[in-house]
Structure 1
Amino acid sequence: MQYIAFNKLKDWVRKQITLIGLEPIVIILISSTKNYFIDEFVELLTKQQTDIYWIGKTNVGKSSLINKVLSLQQQFPRKLSLISYFPNTTMNLIAIAYRDYLYFYDTPGFANSNELNYYLNNNAYRNLNFESKIKSKTYQLEYGKTITIVGLFQFSFIEGLATSFHFYGSNKLVLHRSKIENCSRIWKQQILLLKPNIKMVEHQIKISKNNEEKIGIQIYGYGWISFKARKQQLRLLLPENCDYQIIKPIL
């Protein structure tokens, strides 16, 4: 049975924050739908003596979390923050009375051009929402095979020993296996989720280790692909400016 290694996940979050020049004080892993660590989070909020600004990326659930905190403390504003699948639903700064003359400020989400979300058309956002526990999709691949994550990107196994690749992304996304020589034709048939005229760029990835160590490729805005290092040659087809990085798996 797979489980989340919370300390590894916190380390990953801390690394991502420091990469943009910030220093995290406290990291709490939280879910407003599953109530994970909500009590710990609310306790932290009650200690604050200044207004609280909710800042984060588009469509990550800031408004949902605010509503959850208010409902737990039996505080209901006249108009709860609007919740939507679509990005930039919160268009302006929204002030919500919290306690003792303190306010929550719900801010518009920001989008990063290095993430897949930035390139989606409006009909595609539901496909990248994580509404349930992620179930990995595993493919035992020989070299010369491609996995197309329908309408988003492609992952190709160019060279190396047979390997099991585990894909961790939204359960709603469809994956399609094919031979590399057919991947261009399949891509043209299944480019469904991206905005029109998006330039796609190939990235060559060479895994030099051959020690069976578990590693992963994080694709910003999707999730990650994990496998064992066996001197593989891999290729990613991603929207231009969309980033990836090699990580240690958090499962």
Structure 2
Amino acid sequence: MLKRGKTIPEVRWKDTPDFVELAKKWKPDAITNLLKFVWEGYDLLVSEVLSQINCDEAKEQLERSITQSLERRIHKKMTDCHFFYVQHEVYEFETSKSAQAQPPQYDIAFILYENERIIWPLEAKVLETDGAVGDYIKEINENFITCRYAPFSSQGGMLGYLFSGDPDKAFTNIETKIPCTLNDHPDFLTRDHKTSDHQRVVPPGKSYPTEFRCHHLLLKIIATATNNIPSV
């Protein structure tokens, strides 16, 4: 295996503090605002796309097509944000294993303008039912908790695209199978939004944040009427 050299971002930005701490210095509620953009983007996705179609007719590239449409609508809501930007399908060069290996790739990422290595990621998984949470849980246990994802952030998130079933049942299955404790987010009590706290396994020689908070957002894909969408 060919040893990996440095990438251009690693040469340019050698100092890599925690995304969350930097964001809070900019604005104490920066992470809540970031998540608010996600929920508002979802509201637009429902009103502009999901409520206009029969989602049961769509069979191909579900995760990628939903994520791409969602990212565009998150971007629409970020007109007054000058600290970080949002991007679909972003590579994490920091945890690439070798020169030949493709780096991990985030479905959606919030990236600091002042340091492109510092990323707050969102990973998306289709949940066909409220019990089909296996791939969702795998992302958390094998990628977030191992620091393969979000090495420079003490927080990140999962998007569950729920096609059928009850969000509360999905949350119960996620909580049982990780296992973890899911807590309500005080700023999003009307949303299907929980958090869980974890101790990460940091690789030797690295100073990544050990404590990690995962946000769990379940987005119903079989759309309801837009006037029933809860406020943030």
TM-score by length of 1: 0.26
- Which structure carries more helix by proportion? 2
TM-score by length of 2: 0.27
The structure with the largest alpha-carbon Rg is 1
- Which structure carries more strand by proportion? 1
- Of structures 1 and 2, the one with the larger relative CO (CA 8 A, separation 6+) is 2
